Structure formats: C-alpha cells, structure tokens
Amino acid sequence: MKRTLVISDIHGELELFEQLLSNVQYNPRHDQLILLGDYVDRGPDSRKVLDKIIELKAQGAFILRGNHEDMMIKALTTNDERSWKHWAHRNGGSNTLQSYGFSESEFIIPENKDFVKPVLHSEKLAGHLAFIQSLDPIVEHNDYIFVHAGVHPTIPIAETDPYVLMWIREEFYNNYRGDKPVIFGHTPTTILHNDKNNHSIYFGENRIIGIDGAAVYGGQLNCLELPAKVMHYVK
C-alpha cells in the first residue's frame, strides 16, 4: 500500500525538512506527501523552503496553506498597517523578508513614524507570493481530513470560512466529534499533551491527530506515516 507522509509547520527550517525527507526515504513515485502549511517565518530559510515545496508540488505532493502564509499574503497584497506589522514586526515575517535579501531598515516601520507600506522589489518573492495564494487550506480523503489548524466542530467544511481552517484552535481540538480523523498542525503538540517537553505527535481520543512539534522553537519536526500511524522526527 502506498505510504502517505504528513508534515507541518516547517517555518523556514530547510535543513530539518530535508533531513526528515531523507530519513523517511521519501520517493514521490511511491509515496504521497502532504504538507499542512506554515512554510515561512521565524526560521532562517523561508525562501529556500518555498523553492523546495514548489519542486515537491510539481512531483505530486499536496501543499496546503497555513496561517503564516495567510498573514504573508495579507501583508504583501494590502496597504493595511495592522496586517503589515502583525506579520513583519511580530510574527516572524522579518525573518522571511531577510531570506529574500532585504534588511530590516527596508521593512521595519519605526513606531514614531506614520505608516507607509515599504516597497520591496523581488521577482522571487512575487513568484512565491503567487504560489502561496494558489494553495488550498484543506484536503479531504476517504479516511482522513488534512488541514492546517482544524475544522469547525459544528459547521460543514464546505460552508466554513477558509480563515477558520487556518487559524482555529481550542474550539476545534476541544470539541471535535466528527467521524473522520483530522490531521492538523498549527497548535504545538506540547499544548495538546499538556506537557512542555512532549513534542511527539498527539493522538486524541476525539479523532484528532496533531503533528506540530514546534521545530522552530527548539522542538522537533514530525512526520506522520500513514496508514501505519508511525512517527518520524528530526530535531
């Protein structure tokens, strides 16, 4: 049976990501790779991670959008001050922009200055922005739902705002009662385990499977292998 390999929340950690793919001996001819979002921000190599993911998608991987891609899109495609500062100042967007060769003086707005959105020219960044804008927030298979953050416990997926699928937390993982297991990232598994030292995959009694090992915070990058439900990880 073909393996399905699921990874989430890479956050610019290219070295860990490539090591994990090597460790599981990923082969696109025999394996189905599913990535659950948050490829950018906080880590050192967001640009190179997106280059890698574009290559993987061309080989057949399913690539979903996470909340950090959502923040990046809003910051780069609108003139909204809150969206810009939320991403570039407070949620790791500065690391992403630096990976494209920009310096902080080009995109950090001093608090005592009126907001004028920075003008940043990069063909590579523009191409990557178009790519992440094309990504879906969820994919549903016969046996599992794959999503970045989770699903609303009472609203059908087809009627759910994509924002919810990329951002929901407690309302989902505390209240989900659906028949089909949901595999998701976004919420570090230390929170789900209620153990700050436990970065392993979380298998909830309510058919939720959390895989975000908080690699960019010094945890581990997890890979869930299906159908065997085996955990692989690097740290």
User: pTM for the complete prediction?
Assistant: 0.97
The length of the chain in residues reads 235
Q: What are the tens digits of pLDDT across the range 159-216?
A: 999 999 999 999 999 999 999 999 999 999 999 999 999 999 999 999 999 999 999 9
Q: What are the tens digits of pLDDT across the range 117-176?
A: 999 999 999 999 999 999 999 999 999 999 999 999 999 999 999 999 999 999 999 999
**Following CA atoms 211, 215, 216, 218 in sequence, which dihedral angle do they give, to the nearest 10 degrees?**
140
Please give the span between the terminal C-alpha atoms of the chain, in angstroms, as a whole number.
Answer: 28
- How far is it, in rounded angstroms, from Cα 192 to Cα 215? 15
CATH fold of 3-68+132-234, please? Purple Acid Phosphatase; chain A, domain 2 (3.60.21)
Mean predicted lDDT score pLDDT of the chain: 97
Element (H, E) at 68: helix 67-77
Q: What are phi and psi of 4, to 5 degrees?
A: -110, 130
Q: Which residues contact 103 (CB under 8 A, 6 or more apart)?
A: none
Domain ranges of the chain: 3-68+132-234
Q: Is the pLDDT assigned to residue 39 strictly greater than 80?
A: yes
Strand bridging mode 202-203 / 182-184: unpaired
